[in-house]
Amino acid sequence: MTLRLHDTAAREVRDFIPITPGRVSLYLCGATVQAPPHIGHVRSGVDFDILVRWLAASGYQVTFCRNVTDIDDKIIRTAGAEGVPWWAVSERNQRAFTRAYEALGLEHMRAADDIDESAKRDPRDFALWKAAKPGEPAWETPWGPGRPGWHLECSAMATKYLGSTFDIHGGGLDLVFPHHENEIAQSRAAGDGFARYWVHNGLLGLAGEKMSKSLGNSLLVDAMIKEVRPAELRYYLGQAHYRSEMDYSPDALAEAAAAYRRIEGFVTRAADADPAVGAALPGPSAASTRWPSGGPAPAATTASGPWSTRWSPWRCGSARPRASAGTMPPRTASGRRWRTPESRSRTPRAARDGSCADERARRGPAPAGPRRAHEVRQAPPGHRRPR
């Protein structure tokens, strides 16, 4: 199966062909950790985690890099307002992001071994170096004290760990300009081919506005996973097409959570019915005596029990059972009616055909006259129905 990605730079959907067969290099612009993460922050992480898992499941060896911007004008301003060192703000919020990523099941990212490097030493970077201001953190360089700019950070990290030309560069749509355009400009000026595919995820908004701390409309991940389970929140963030815009609402989240519980319930029942299925599932055994909502599973009911099925004479040939009047099965916590494998079993073909023949005999031959528009005509010999 060919993977097709929308390349923002080319403005078209392209077949994905990696530079090196069997290997994929992917860089993702991560968070600027001036505040704890809200669910808009982690949508990007979920979308690209799904992509990385798909590539790995397809047999690719994936090298995935994601940066953390831990020094920035916003971080410095926050630290000044709180009266604490800039690194204290960065470390506190970086740990909050790590907790959120782990709760949502994102693949663990190993810190780079050279994380303590103090400066990028290529003299061509000087135009993008931010000169130090009084009281700000700085590193000594041949061209004076300062720190690297935001755009330079990503170009330097991506090319160091993935090479001068790599497969995919990802990020949110809000980073297309100026961040990613500046990355391209400075990297191409340095002679690098840089990214071959630019993949951007849509944003998550609230009441038609971008979710952000500055607007006071952010929903923190730590609070949201107290409302729904982390897996249900991940399903909500990942169910839409990765490029689509999403607008948060409690109803949409509840609907996604219910959909996830239905899938979970199906897998649980499949594992209970066939131990081989349970053994193939990752993590703890899916076999459970508890329904996904946390309550006990409804008692099994056979077809000969209090809600045995019957067949409607007006649906001859149908294989769909109908519950007897007044004896509908109980609903589960997700709102669906519980049915056992026995109650879903189909009526034997002979019995079904016999009941239909009896019904046709009782009703007699069809009246003469012109055919009605919705009746099916007999196809001529040799005719093949178009697909």
Smallest CA-to-CA distance from 169 within 64, 68, 240 is with 64
Mean pLDDT value of segment 290-313:
31
Q: Cα 124 to the chain's mean position, in Å? A: 39
Specify the residue for token string 């982690």: 42
In a domain, 88, yes or no: yes
The values of phi and psi at residue 23, to 5°, are -130, 145
What's the pLDDT at 382? Answer: 52
In a domain, 178, yes or no: yes
In a domain, 287, yes or no: no
In a domain, 300, yes or no: no
- The model's pLDDT over 366-386, given as tens digits with 9 standing for 90+, comes to 555 544 444 444 545 554 555
> Which two tokens mark 376?
């099916």
3-state secondary structure of 311: coil
Alpha-carbon distance values, 33 to 23, 78, 213, 268, 384 (Å): 31, 11, 12, 39, 63
Q: Identify the weakest region by mean pLDDT among 134-148, 176-190, 283-297.
A: 283-297
What's the pLDDT at 196? Answer: 97
Going by their DSSP bridges, the two strands 61-66 and 23-28 should be labelled as parallel
Q: Cα 329 to the chain's mean position, in Å? A: 34
Please give the radius of gyration of the chain, using alpha carbons only, rounded to the nearest integer. Answer: 29
CATH number where 228 lies = 3.40.50.620
Q: The pTM is what?
A: 0.66
In a domain, 87, yes or no: yes
In a domain, 219, yes or no: yes
Show the domain range for 234. 4-112+119-248
- The model's pLDDT over 72-97, given as tens digits with 9 standing for 90+, comes to 889 999 999 999 999 999 999 999 99
Mean pLDDT value of segment 218-240:
94
In a domain, 321, yes or no: no
In a domain, 151, yes or no: yes
> Which two tokens mark 366?
């069809």
User: Do residues 4 and 13 lie in contact, with contact meaning Cβ atoms separated by under 8 Å?
Assistant: yes
Residue 227 contacts by C-beta under 8 Å, 6 or more apart in sequence? 253
Give how many domains the chain has, as a whole number. Answer: 1
3-state secondary structure of 288: coil
